[in-house]
Amino acid sequence: MPKNDTSDRQTIDQQNAADNRGPVFSGLSGNEIYCIGLYGYRPGNLLVGNSVFALGFVGGVSSNIRTVVGGEISRITEMIAEGRRLSLERFNQELLQSGAPAATGVTSELVFHAGNVEFLSVGSAIVQTNSQLPAARFTSSSDGQELFCQIDANYLPLDFVFGNVAYSIGVARGIIGSFRELARGEITQFSNIFNTTRNLALERLVNEAKTKNANAVVGIRTTILPVGASAVQEMVMIGTASRNDQIQAAADTVGGVITSDLTAEEMWNVTKLGYVPLKLVLGTSVYSLGLAGSIKAGFRNLVKGEIKILSDLIYGAREQSLKRVQEQAAAIGADDVLGIKTYIYNIGNGVIEFLAIGTAVKRVNGLSTKSDQLPPQAVIRDKDTFINTAESTYGTDLQRPTR
């Protein structure tokens, strides 16, 4: 365990006085402050970067893609990526002006205003005091607790990275709706499109990490969100580009950069057990429930009981998605796939998408953690102390936290 004797560390108030600085306005919780303190960091100020774009561009592009057969809408992907990058650049400028070397808990969000979309990057600066680590500049998507777990598992953070892809669900719905006699079962064409599209975000995340001289992207979080009121959705993956010399051989087997959506605590645990993540693997299958209108008509008088034909179809979609995950893991020589999560989406017109996602891992020699066990403060979940049950107040959406 890193040195954490309180007699050897100044309190935050003492440090403030010694540095002749005013009060710190940090987004870090008490548990996060404790955890970063174990590696010689103290909290700095909350930092924000933003950029506002007109949503009219999205509507103009999406209105001209009615004949496109699914897949990526590259112009919207590029617009969103540009907005995210601009907000991150301004966040980094604010970090540089603050004099702090690093920031943790960095986010990249979309906030929709009337006719506009704001790209918002928020995080908290952290300052080295008696750090046991080499002085280094970095930004991380990990919060303070996750950052401790990551560093203690020997994944040194380098930079916040993201990969995204924009695509139109509306196009797929329209095409599927024209197939009045669509048979039950998988629609292979759309499964292939969705698998390709969803993997583009991961590919772009990896490519950005390579520019940072990283051999890992850890703590990946995947979000699918609508882009305004259009039929367009964005899939974005964010994570922390990192370097761990212990895993280089494993990274080389997957093209130089390992990817993982395991939580930071899980990452620490699997490292302790001798496993290295290889790749975030995902599989998707698009299934037609077949003649949805006729099926509904046939069950109008059904009060209760299993609809076995639908049970079998949804089971088949799930099995096909998991099979694709298994095939990807086998192709890179993984021993297991951990943390599998499954999601089901109703595309419309009796068509569903089933998505499975997890992290393929392999047991290797030579892995270690700096500590024998994690401190309780690294795994305690913070509780919400501000709760808003109203959808809006004075016309402003308050459901999205900015921390």
What pLDDT, on a 0 to 100 scale, did the predictor assign at position 5? 44
What pLDDT, on a 0 to 100 scale, did the predictor assign at position 7? 39
Q: Higher pLDDT residue, 236 or 56?
A: 236
The string of pLDDT tens digits covering residues 302-327 is 556 777 777 887 888 889 999 999 99
What mean pLDDT is predicted for residues 9-34?
69
What mean pLDDT is predicted for residues 324-331?
95
Binning pLDDT at 50, 70 and 90, where does residue 194 land? confident
The DSSP string of 137-193 is -EE-SS-HHHHHHHHHTT-EEEEEEEEEEEEEHHHHHHHHHT-TTPPSEE-HHHHHH
Query: 371: which residues sit within 8 A by CB, 6+ positions away?
Result: 1, 2, 152
Query: 24: which residues sit within 8 A by CB, 6+ positions away?
Result: 12, 16, 43, 44, 45
Q: Higher pLDDT residue, 133 or 106?
A: 106
**What would the two tokens of residue 228 be?**
């305004």
pTM of the model: 0.85
What pLDDT, on a 0 to 100 scale, did the predictor assign at position 294? 45
> Residue 382 burial (CB < 10 Å; 0-12/13-18/19+)?
exposed
Given a cut of 90, whether residue 127 has pLDDT beyond it is yes
What pLDDT, on a 0 to 100 scale, did the predictor assign at position 394? 45
Give percent of the chain above pLDDT 90: 57
Mean predicted lDDT score pLDDT of the chain:
83
The string of pLDDT tens digits covering residues 255-280 is 999 999 999 999 999 999 999 999 99
Distance from C-alpha of 83 to C-alpha of 117, rounded to nearest angstrom: 9
Buried b (16+ CB within 10 A) or exposed e, 109-148: bbebeeeebebbbbbbbbbbeebeeeeeebbbbbbbbbbb
Asked whether the beta carbons of 72 and 165 are under 8 A apart, the reply is yes
What pLDDT, on a 0 to 100 scale, did the predictor assign at position 297? 42
Q: Higher pLDDT residue, 263 or 286?
A: 263
The string of pLDDT tens digits covering residues 216-229 is 999 999 998 888 65
Domain boundaries, given as residue ranges, for the chain: 10-374
Q: Higher pLDDT residue, 231 or 84?
A: 84
Give percent of the chain above pLDDT 70: 78
Of the ranges 72-86, 164-178, 182-196, which is most confident?
72-86
Query: 390: which residues sit within 8 A by CB, 6+ positions away?
Result: 398
